[in-house]
Amino acid sequence: MKTVAVIGASSQRHKFGNKAVRGFQRQGYKVVPINPHEAQIEGLEAFPSVLDVPVGIDIATLYLPPHEGLAILDEIAKKKIPELWINPGAESGEVIRRARELNLDPIIACSLLAIGEMP
């Protein structure tokens, strides 16, 4: 079972960060919500940063506005997360360029659609 960090996870069920938590759970992934302002999301312990997660992470899926996502990329690289999805609304030329500079090889697409979920 792969572990996915939903960066920008939310307790608000109408937000895509929450839909991602639920969608990845339905598809059998171990989900780690990342949100510095929440302790729990959908019954799962939330962490302020990927660096605070005590286990390895296989996939990071980004649900933050570009200016916030840009600040997180160094943490993703430091944690050595091998797969990074930049979802619609989180992408910008600067985010993509910085991810590539960090050798993250980002996938610019909807991670929920990729796993067979409808957002």
Q: How far apart are CA 89 and CA 86, in angstroms?
A: 8
- E strand or H helix that includes residue 96: helix 93-101
Q: How far apart are CA 79 and CA 55, in angstroms?
A: 10
Q: Is the CB of residue 90 less than 8 Å from the CB of residue 65?
A: yes
Q: Is the CB of residue 98 less than 8 Å from the CB of residue 104?
A: no
Domain boundaries, the chain: 3-114
What is the residue-level pLDDT of the chain in tens, covering all 119 positions? Answer: 999 999 999 999 999 999 999 999 999 999 999 999 999 999 999 999 999 999 999 999 999 999 999 999 999 999 999 999 999 999 999 999 999 999 999 999 999 999 999 88
Q: Is the CB of residue 72 less than 8 Å from the CB of residue 7?
A: yes
Q: SS3 for 38?
A: coil
* Amino acid 119: pLDDT: 83
Which of 3.40.50.80, 3.30.470.20, 2.40.50.140, 3.40.50.720 would CATH assign to domain 3-114?
Answer: 3.40.50.720
Query: What pTM does this model have?
Result: 0.96
- E strand or H helix that includes residue 101: helix 93-101
Establish how many alpha carbons lie within 13 A of residue 51's alpha carbon, considering only the half-sphere containing its beta carbon.
8
